[in-house]
Amino acid sequence: MKTNHLSTYIRSFLEDYLTLQKDFSRNTILSYRDTIKLFLTFNAVERKKSVTDLTLGDLSPKMVIHFLQHLEKERANSKQTRNIRLACLHSFFRYLANREPLISEHCQRILAIPFKRNLSSSIVEYLEREEMKAILQAVNCKNLDGYRNYTLFFFMYNTGARVGEVLSLYVRALQLERPFQVRFRGKGEKERLCPLWPETVKLLRSLLKQRGVDSKSDAPVFVNHRGQRLTRYGVRYLLDKYIQIAARKCPSLKGKHIHPHSIRHTTAMHLLQSGVDINTIRAWLGHAHLETTNRYAEINLEMKRKVLDNYLPITKTKTLWKPSQQLLQWLESL
């Protein structure tokens, strides 16, 4: 394992295996890329060598375990995020084992590293109607950035789309004439249509007009002041900022751990509470399996039980490092 084909393997994994053979979406491939980049950077720091000097032997099972511990302790990642990173590494080493039988034993030891049970996975954080309203009201719409941010979160609330779906959206996917709708490309490259509220259409039309963008354009819908797509981290930063402002008037926000995906949960819960049937919600959100959508119904039922209990008669009875190696630069350029 002295010969270093690491960069060749990574390129082949991302560009050939994931892209051509598995036909994964760009967002999924970028998630794999980011995991590999984090793992290589961590290895280089721990071994006090450059990324370009790393070999397959350096990517040991012990180092994978240390990397996972680093994610949870130093980067404060959740068990779910830790498991997602491990799943990406499992896929990479499974690919290596199939391609290079001589290192199969090494790869199998990494594949044997288990996932952690996420006991809080059944907990769905979502916003009450007044909380969602407070966040939207916290946005200053008097400038283009603020108007874009308001439109972004209103659009996310309307569609319940995954943040990756929203950020990868092109203007031509919007139908701003009746019937108002948007075409998303979700997980597994599956397409779905989602209806748009008239208010959402009004916001989008105004945003595109302010940017001087034609409704049939191939431009991204949500961009920064340089005309580049907003990033997941950018959306998270904006949401956190507006939550802090909104919490001054809506104190219940202070006790919640809200992230962009929480808006998707919020849409699902509000649709359910409005009487929309579960199959329509499934199609709205683009869930492949009804079981995924059913958890919202279970949460709603539990809420009703708690309300009922409240009305029952009273009885007796919670080291920064920025490597500049070619491999990392290539990963970043994808």
Residues 221 and 88 in one domain: no
Q: Which of the residues 95, 126, 157, 296 is marked catalytic?
A: 296
Residues 104 and 168 in one domain: no
Residues 27 and 158 in one domain: no
* Three-class SS state of 85: helix
Residues 301 and 205 in one domain: yes
DSSP 230: P
Q: Which of the residues 106, 259, 264, 282 is marked catalytic?
A: 264
**Annotation says 287 is catalytic:** yes
**Distances 205 to 150, 157, 198 between C-alpha atoms, Å:** 13, 17, 11
Nearest CA among 29, 126, 138 for reference residue 37: 29
Q: Which of the residues 99, 183, 229, 261 is marked catalytic?
A: 261
**Domain ends where: 58, 86, 121?**
121
**Annotation says 90 is catalytic:** no
Is pTM beyond 0.85 here?
A: no
Radius of gyration of the chain (CA): 23
Nearest CA among 33, 6, 26 for reference residue 91: 33
Count of domains for the chain? 2
Q: Which two tokens stand for residue 113?
A: 């590293």
Residues 104 and 134 in one domain: no
Nearest CA among 18, 305, 28, 10 for reference residue 187: 28
Residues 172 and 304 in one domain: yes
Q: Which pLDDT does position 307 carry in this prediction?
A: 41
Residues 252 and 284 in one domain: yes
Question: CA triplet 293, 297, 299: central angle to 5 degrees?
Answer: 110
Digit-by-digit pLDDT tens for the chain (334 residues) are: 444 578 999 999 999 999 888 888 888 899 899 999 999 999 999 999 999 899 999 999 999 999 999 999 999 998 888 999 999 999 999 999 999 989 999 999 999 999 887 544 556 789 999 999 999 999 999 999 999 999 999 999 999 999 999 999 999 999 999 999 999 987 666 789 999 999 999 999 999 999 999 989 999 999 999 999 999 999 999 999 999 999 999 999 998 999 999 999 999 999 988 888 888 888 899 876 666 677 676 666 555 455 445 444 444 434 444 554 566 776 766 6
Residues 139 and 104 in one domain: no
Q: Which pLDDT does position 14 carry in this prediction?
A: 95
Residues 134 and 96 in one domain: no
Q: What CATH number corresponds to the domain at position 98? A: 1.10.150
Q: Which two tokens stand for residue 52?
A: 């370009």
Residues 156 and 278 in one domain: yes
**Annotation says 237 is catalytic:** no
Give the HSE-up count for residue 200: Cα atoms under 13 Å, Cβ half-sphere: 22
Q: Which segments within the chain are labelled E, that is strand?
A: 174-175, 181-185, 191-195
Q: What CATH number corresponds to the domain at position 151? A: 1.10.443.10
Q: Are 95 and 15 in contact (CB under 8 A)?
A: no
Residues 150 and 169 in one domain: yes
Residues 95 and 60 in one domain: yes
Q: Which of the residues 172, 187, 236, 256 is marked catalytic?
A: 187
Phi-psi region of 127 (alpha: psi -120 to 50; beta: other; left: phi over 0): beta
**Annotation says 261 is catalytic:** yes
Q: Which of the residues 37, 82, 259, 287 is marked catalytic?
A: 287
Q: Which of the residues 82, 85, 162, 259 is marked catalytic?
A: 162
Distance CA 12, CA 4 (A): 14
Q: Which domain holds residue 255?
A: 129-310
